[in-house]
Each structure stands twice: as C-alpha cells, then as structure tokens.
C-alpha cells in the first residue's frame, strides 16, 4: 500500500472506528465484534508501517469511553487498561519471544496464566477494612463512573470480605447465557429493542442512573485481578487469584497455569472447544505473564500492558435448511417472523429457531422457505441468518408473505408507512391482553388506582380477566382472593374500578390503545365528536379534516373502529356503564387562549404531558413542531433543533421558571 492510498484509508477508518467505539461504550452495537476487530487490526497495521499517519484522535491511541452524565467521576489509582488483541498463534508466539528475552535478561522464570476473556463490562471494587466502599466502571481507563449503588445490587459481590483488608480488585460484570436469553425473550414479547449481545445488556444495566432498574437485571461478576493492595504482597498472579477466592470473591473459574507457550496455546484451544459449555459468554482467551516482577519489567504502553495478549476466536458459521417461517405476536401486537430451522450446532449450541426481525430483513436477504441458509451466533449468543446459499436453490423454494390476519386472534394486520413491523389491530387479542390492560388502567387513561402490573398478571393467570371489559365484572371476592387479608385492598380496587366508569370520554379513547393516539389526540377527538358512537361512525375524510391528524393517524383510527373486536369491546363497556360522552369543560381562566406552545428538551418539574395539560387548562394548545404561528417555545435541558428553529423565526423562548411565573 502506497503512502497516499494508506492516508486515504486512515481517513476512512478513523472516523468509522471512532463511531463504532462510541456506540459500543454507549451500550449499542452497530457492527459485529469480529468486523470491528478486523477494521482495528487493519488500522494498526497501517499505522505500524506508516508512523507519520498516526493521528492524535486515532482509536488506537485511546482507551474506553466518555463518562455518562449523571455519574460522579472516579479517578483510578491504578489504571484499568485494555488488552492487545491477537488473531493468530503466530502473534501469540511473537509475544512469547519478547517475554522470553526479557525473562532471560532478568533471570526470572517465565510461565503463563490463561484465562477466559469474559464478555462484559470491567469494574474496579474498592474495600476498606474488608468492607465494600466504592465501585467504578473502567471509563477511559484513568477515570471511570461511580456505580457503587448499582454494584451493591449484584448478589455475587461480597459486601464484607472474610479478612479485614484494604484492597482494590478488578472484575468483569456480565450476564450469563441462560439469563441473557430469558432477558431478550421477555424484551421481544414486550416489543422492546433486543440487546445485541450479553455485553451490551450488562453494560446498559450497570450504567443505569436508577439502581432499582439495575437490581432487576440478572448481573453477575468474576474477579480477575488485584489492582492495589498495600498490606499483602504476591509473587505471582495465580497466587493472587487463589487469595481472592479465599477472601470470598467470585473469581474467574477458568484460570490455567501453563509452564510455556505451547501449554498456553493448548489451553486456548481447550477453551475454544469448551466455550459453549461455559455458563457465560466469552470473546477470547487472555494469556498473562504469571510472575509479577517480570510484569513490572515488561511495563505498559499508554493503552495496554506489554505482559498480556488477548487471543480472539473467529465467529463460527454453519449451513442449515430453513423449513418454515412462523409468526410470533408480541404484547403490543408487533408481529415478528421466526425462522424454523433444521437443528444445527453452532459454536456448541443447538439452533432450531431464530428471529428474522421484519419483512424488510427477509426481502433484503431474499430469504425463502426451503432455502439453505448460513447461521452465525451474533456476539456468541444470538443466532442469526447472515446469508442465503442461493447456489443450492432447486426452484421449490417459496417466497414468504406476512399474514393479513393475526395468527393469534384473526384480526386484521397492518403495516403503516415508515414502519418496519406489522401489527395486529385486534383490541381483544390475547397476546396483547397484559400490556393492553396496563395501559387501560394507567393514570393518563382510566386511572384505576391499585390495578398494577402484578395484580393484572395474577388476574390473567387465574382466568378472571380474559379481555379489557372483564375488569368491570370483577367482584369483591375475586379481588380479595389475590392477597392474604385482602379485604381492604379489594374494596379499594372495586371502588376505583367503579369510579373509573365516569371518566371523561378522552380518557377512554386514550385507554383503548389505538396506534398513534395519545392523550393529546384523544382530547381533540373528544372535543370534535363528543360521543363514542359519533367517533366510531366518523368517515376517513372527516377524521382527516382535523389539523392535528394526518392520513396515517386517521387511517389507524378508522380501521380500529371497524374491527369486530373493537365493536364488541365498546358494546360490553357500555353494558357495564362506562361513560361514552365528553364532559363539558369548565374554564374560567383563558390566559393562554389563542396561544400555541412548543416544548423542547427535558423539564425538571413537569413531564411534557403535565405541562400540556396546564397549557390546555388555561385555554392554550401545544404543538410538536415550530412554525411562525408558534407563540412560545419552552426550552428545557438538552433542547434540540426546535430551539434553533425558534431562534431563526424570532419566536419568544422561555425557561421552565418563566413558565412557572406565567401560570401562577
């Protein structure tokens, strides 16, 4: 590669890798580990050949990530460095040659410890007098984030050691394979974005600003190094690991003592063969110099220690037959196509089923029923179809078409413009029942106090609720049976259910869970149509005449009220006495009449819905877009493009405190 060609490639690689690196440390993954590693390897090789092309902002010159806003900074007394990746045994032997030379020069015995490179998030744990006092993420290696409260929720971290020592240790926070699969399966059912791999899941969980969220995630940790200990001295790394176990730490279970590099390579191969038997994911094997004095002699670069390398295993791919494509309906009605495969073992796991994400993914890869496909485990955990072997087609393969009826309830399925997923339009679909009732009972919908997630789950399990309308046929005895001594709770919930029957029409419209219809549009519909019957009879043209409702939203409302399930639900709610009419507004203060507000950024005291309710209470209205007709823009923290647009139009911009003064 000539210098000019190399320079051009560096200019391509640096920004690309910087972006991938930032996404990785923001707990998002936009490229596979293997692809990232190969690009980084290419950049290192160019920089080694052309040192004048090494840029200050090159990702090869940096460690770790920026600090997430909301966490206190922690300066590591001993840096938490990264590791030098290698991809061949030739590179491992080159490392050994360097260490041999150094060991001979200093007359020190050279041996190695080979450990699994756990796929998680590195953290330092600090103990004073044997008590856990602080924990921090690696961050950029020198400065990390104080995540002490989150780490206290990890059951495998001892709060008190078996000896009263002052010590700082380093470990890897991770989520086990089975736990990760369950976590992603639950998220798939809830139509939440799936984690790309266990590492992202662990990192995202540990870096939550609310430790209650962290506590709900199945985090674990393995300790693999003593970072600092003034009172205890060790001769070897292996000795220190045994001592950490004695103190009560959950130490990396795979730590193989090797007399020479041949044994170390044998250990790497053994870990590779057994990796799928491990209960946790790995992304390599680490070869470390065992003697701590020799480590001191070897030293470190800014980014990595010279006394260790991380061998990265290539991803394993297998061919198999795609027998069928079935569809899974999630709790919000999203329909996910699933590939049913002839079982195949990939990286040690038997794979017989995997997600095909959506219709566009199937079309992009031209996946057909009967195809021979290539399966790979993304991040060593999630199986995925990476390509079709079109050369093996015999003409009998069938193109897949998304169903026009829900496979669970038979209602119409819809895919709206700009959306990737198809959805079930049935309001009584059993797959959507749990989430549907949670929304129906929520504060901004029918506001049924006491009808929380756990109670809803139990009512469904016992068969006491099979659709939304069943809420209104619950009896005192039904509810009292859910809890010991539950009479007071039962009476309160029955009262709350009865009270909800008189809610305003807009709350009921919002509670029905019509796609794209929230509180704001529900209020507009309530004002325009006044009764549920009038709304249900509204034509598509009539719905489109409202300024706030475009064609997509209008079609969603129109189609929803033409489903038999919707008509059945409304009729049942009427029978139970649920209000179907808009209540007349009583407003004496119209200070915002004729004014339109746009909210941007996050406010401290109010949610956007709360601020919107206050504005409407005083006769004003809110909009999601800035135009020359906008009266005020309320700008909170991290205000975005709407603020810039308002400034260009010369629209008055007010703060939250200004808004407070206006409503007093």
Taking Cα atoms as reference points, which of 343, 338, 340, 353 lies closest to residue 383? Answer: 353
Q: Are residues 193 and 293 in the same domain?
A: yes
What's residue 110's pLDDT? 97
At residue 586 the predicted structure's pLDDT band, cuts being 50, 70 and 90, is low
Answer with the one of 257, 287, 311 that is the final residue of a domain: 311
CB atoms closer than 10 angstroms to residue 630: 19
Considering the domain architecture, whether residues 303 and 325 belong to the same structural domain is answered as no
Q: What is the structure's pLDDT at 33?
A: 66
- φ/ψ (deg, to 5) at 133: -115, -25
Domain assignment present for 7: yes
Cβ-Cβ contacts under 8 Å for 16 (sequence gap 6 or more):
39
Q: Is 213 within a domain?
A: yes
pLDDT given for residue 207 in this prediction: 85
In the predicted model, is pLDDT for residue 202 greater than 80? yes
Q: Is the pLDDT of residue 178 over 90?
A: no
Burial of 363 from C-beta contacts in 10 A (0-12 / 13-18 / 19+): exposed
Tell whether 646 is covered by a domain: yes
In this structure, of 44-48, 231-235, 253-257, the range with the lowest mean pLDDT score is 44-48
The tokens for 27 are: 């707990």
| DSSP per residue, 324-347 | EEEEEE-TTSEEEEEEEEEEEEET
pLDDT tens sequence across 455-511: 998 999 999 999 999 999 999 999 998 887 788 899 999 999 999 999 999 999 999
Instruction: Give the model's pLDDT for residue 313.
Output: 85
CB-CB neighbours of 418 under 10 Å = 6
Which residues lie across from 116 on neighbouring strands?
285
Residue with the bigger pLDDT between 537 and 189: it is 537
Based on the residue annotation, tell me whether 117 is a catalytic residue of this protein.
Answer: yes
- The rounded mean pLDDT for the chain is 88
327 DSSP β-pair partners: 337
Q: What CATH number does the domain containing 529 carry?
A: 1.10.150.20
Inform me whether the pLDDT recorded for 631 exceeds 80. Answer: yes
Residue 65: band (very low, low, confident or very high) from pLDDT cuts 50, 70, 90? low
Please give the order of strands across the beta sheet that includes 653-654: 621-623, 596-600, 632-635, 653-654
CA distance 479 to 646: 52
Cβ atoms of 611 and 659 within 8 Å: the answer is yes
Question: 575, 607, 636 — which closes off a domain?
Answer: 575
* Boundary residue ending a domain (290, 311, 332): 311
Does residue 657 fall inside a structural domain? yes
Whether residues 130 and 262 share a domain: the answer is: yes
Can you give the CATH number for the domain in which 622 is found?
Answer: 3.40.50.10190
Q: Where are the beta strands (DSSP E) in 380-478?
A: 382-388, 398-399, 413-414, 422-424
At which residue do the structure tokens 């196509």 appear? 337
Could you tell me if 321 and 307 lie in one domain?
Answer: no
**Whether residue 552 is found in the same domain as residue 609:** no
89 and 236 share one domain: yes
Decide if 407 is inside a domain. no
> Could you tell me if 515 and 529 are in contact, meaning their C-beta atoms sit under 8 angstroms apart?
no
Q: What is the CATH number of the domain that holds 87?
A: 3.30.470.30
Domain region containing 385: 317-399
Is pLDDT at 622 greater than 90 in this prediction?
Answer: no
**63, 65, 42, 64: which is closest to 53 by C-alpha?**
42
CATH of the domain at 390: 2.40.50.140
CA distance 34 to 37: 5
Alpha carbons 272 and 255: distance in angstroms, whole number:
14
What integer pLDDT is reported at residue 605 of this predicted model? 80
Q: Is residue 422 part of a domain?
A: yes
Are 119 and 261 contained in the same domain?
A: yes
* DSSP one-letter code for 316: P
Q: How remote is the C-alpha of 277 from its chain's centroid?
A: 26
C-alpha separations of 617 from 409, 443, 593 in Å: 40, 18, 10
Q: Do 233 and 170 share a structural domain?
A: yes
- Collapsing DSSP to helix, strand or coil, 570 comes out as helix
On whether both 48 and 165 belong to a single domain, the answer is no
Note whether 553 and 420 are same-domain residues.
Answer: yes
Ordered alpha helix ranges (H), 407-471: 433-441, 453-461
Report how many domains make up the chain.
5
Tell me, yes or no, whether 588 lies in a domain: no
User: From CA 552, how far away is CA 465, in angstroms rounded?
Assistant: 32
Pairing of strands 398-399, 368-369: antiparallel
The model's pLDDT over 273-330, given as tens digits with 9 standing for 90+, comes to 888 788 898 889 999 999 999 999 999 987 899 999 999 987 778 899 999 999 988 8
Domain containing residue 24: CATH number:
1.10.287.610
How large is the average pLDDT for residues 134-154?
92
What is the model's pLDDT at position 31? 62
Distances (CA, A) of 651 to 632, 633, 634, 647: 6, 7, 11, 6
Give me the pLDDT at residue 224, please: 96
Range 30-54 average pLDDT: 78
Distance CA 426, CA 51 (A): 63
Q: How far apart are CA 336 and CA 351, in angstroms?
A: 18
pLDDT at 56 over 80: no
Q: Which helix (H) or strand (E) holds 470?
A: none
Average pLDDT over residues 357-381: 86
Q: Answer yes or no: are the C-beta atoms of 196 and 169 closer than 8 Å.
A: no
* Catalytic position from the list 117, 312, 432, 523: 117
What pLDDT does residue 381 have?
57
Nearest to 414 by CA among 553, 293, 320, 531: 553
Over range 119-141, report the average pLDDT. 93
CA 364 to chain centre: 24
Nearest to 219 by CA among 209, 211, 227: 211
Residue 252 has pLDDT above 90, yes or no: yes
The reply to whether 112 and 233 lie within a common domain is: yes
Specify the pairing of strand 131-137 against strand 255-258.
Answer: unpaired
CA distance 120 to 371: 35
- pLDDT for the residue 68: 54
Q: Which of 12-16, 304-308, 414-418, 604-608 has the highest mean pLDDT?
A: 304-308
* Tokens 């549907």, residue located: 436
Give me the residues paired with residue 531 across strands. 581
Asked whether residue 208 falls in the same domain as residue 347, the answer is no
Residue 654 forms beta bridges with which residues? Answer: 634
> Tens digits of per-residue pLDDT, 395-454?
999 999 999 999 999 999 999 877 888 999 998 899 889 889 999 999 889 999 999 888
Spatial separation of the C-alpha atoms in residues 605 and 190, rounded to whole Å: 29
* pLDDT recorded at residue 170: 97
Residues 6+ apart with CB under 8 A from 309: 83, 84, 85, 86, 91, 92, 95, 286, 287
Averaged over 365-382, what is the pLDDT? 83
Which pLDDT band holds residue 585 (cuts at 50, 70, 90)?
Answer: low
Is residue 366 situated within a structural domain?
Answer: yes
pLDDT at position 231 over 80: yes
């Amino acid at each position: 590669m000539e210098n000019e060609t190399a320079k051009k490639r560096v200019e391509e690689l640096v920004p690309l890798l910087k972006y991938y690196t930032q996404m990785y440390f923001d707990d998002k993954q936009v490229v596979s580990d293997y692809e990232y590693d190969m690009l980084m390897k290419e950049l290192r090789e160019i920089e080694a050949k052309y040192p004048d092309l090494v840029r200050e902002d090159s990702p090869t010159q940096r460690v770790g990530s920026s600090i997430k806003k909301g966490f206190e900074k922690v300066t590591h007394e001993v840096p938490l460095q990264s590791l030098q990746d290698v991809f061949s045994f030739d590179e491992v032997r080159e490392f050994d040659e360097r260490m041999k030379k150094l060991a001979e020069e200093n007359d020190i015995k050279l041996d190695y410890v080979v450990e699994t490179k756990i796929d998680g998030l590195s953290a330092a744990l600090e103990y004073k007098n044997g008590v856990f006092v602080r924990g921090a993420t690696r961050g950029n290696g020198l400065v990390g984030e104080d995540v002490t409260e989150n780490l206290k929720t990890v059951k495998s971290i001892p709060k008190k050691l078996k000896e009263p020592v002052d010590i700082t240790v380093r470990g890897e926070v991770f989520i086990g394979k089975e736990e990760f699969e369950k976590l992603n399966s639950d998220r798939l059912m809830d139509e939440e974005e799936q984690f790309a791999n266990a590492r992202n899941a662990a990192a995202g969980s540990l870096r939550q600003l609310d430790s209650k969220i962290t506590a709900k995630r199945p985090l674990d940790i393995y300790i693999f190094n003593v970072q600092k200990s003034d009172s205890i001295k060790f001769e070897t790394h292996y000795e220190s690991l045994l001592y950490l176990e004695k103190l009560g730490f959950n130490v990396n279970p795979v730590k193989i003592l090797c007399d020479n590099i041949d044994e170390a390579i044998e250990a790497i191969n053994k870990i590779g063969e057994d990796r799928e038997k491990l209960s946790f994911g790995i992304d390599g094997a680490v070869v470390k110099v065992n003697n701590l004095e020799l480590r001191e002699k070897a030293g470190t670069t800014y980014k990595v220690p010279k006394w260790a390398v991380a061998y990265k295993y290539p991803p394993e791919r297998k061919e198999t037959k795609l027998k069928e494509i079935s569809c899974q309906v999630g709790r919000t009605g999203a329909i996910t196509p699933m590939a049913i495969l002839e079982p195949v073992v990939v990286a040690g796991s038997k794979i017989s089923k995997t997600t095909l994400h959506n219709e566009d993914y199937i079309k992009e890869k031209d996946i057909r029923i009967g195809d021979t496909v290539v399966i790979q485990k993304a991040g060593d955990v999630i199986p995925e179809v990476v390509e079709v072997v079109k050369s093996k087609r015999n003409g009998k393969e069938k193109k897949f078409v998304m169903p026009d009826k829900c496979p669970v309830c038979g209602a119409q399925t819809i895919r709206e413009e700009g959306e990737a997923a198809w959805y079930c339009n049935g309001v009584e679909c059993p797959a959507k029942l749990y989430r549907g009732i949670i929304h129906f009972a929520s504060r901004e919908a029918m506001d049924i106090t006491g009808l929380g997630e756990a109670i809803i789950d139990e009512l469904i399990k016992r068969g006491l609720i099979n659709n939304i309308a069943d809420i209104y046929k619950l009896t005192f005895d039904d509810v009292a049976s859910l809890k010991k001594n539950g009479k007071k709770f039962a009476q309160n919930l029955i009262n709350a259910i009865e009270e909800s029957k008189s809610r305003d029409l807009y709350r009921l419209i919002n509670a029905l869970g019509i796609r794209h219809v929230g509180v704001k549009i529900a209020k507009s519909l309530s004002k325009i149509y006044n009764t549920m019957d009038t709304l249900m009879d509204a034509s598509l043209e009539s719905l489109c005449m409202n300024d706030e409702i475009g064609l997509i939203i209008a079609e969603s409302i129109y189609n929803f009220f033409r489903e038999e399930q919707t008509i059945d639900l409304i009729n049942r709610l009427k029978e139970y006495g649920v209000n179907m009419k808009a209540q007349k507004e009583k407003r004496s203060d119209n200070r915002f009449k004729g004014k339109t507000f746009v909210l941007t950024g996050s406010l401290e005291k109010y949610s956007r819905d709360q601020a919107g309710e206050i504005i409407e209470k005083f006769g004003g209205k809110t909009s999601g877009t800035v135009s020359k007709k906008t009266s005020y823009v309320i700008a909170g923290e991290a205000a975005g493009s709407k603020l810039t647009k308002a400034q260009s139009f010369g629209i008055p911009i007010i703060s939250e405190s200004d808004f407070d003064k206006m409503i007093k």
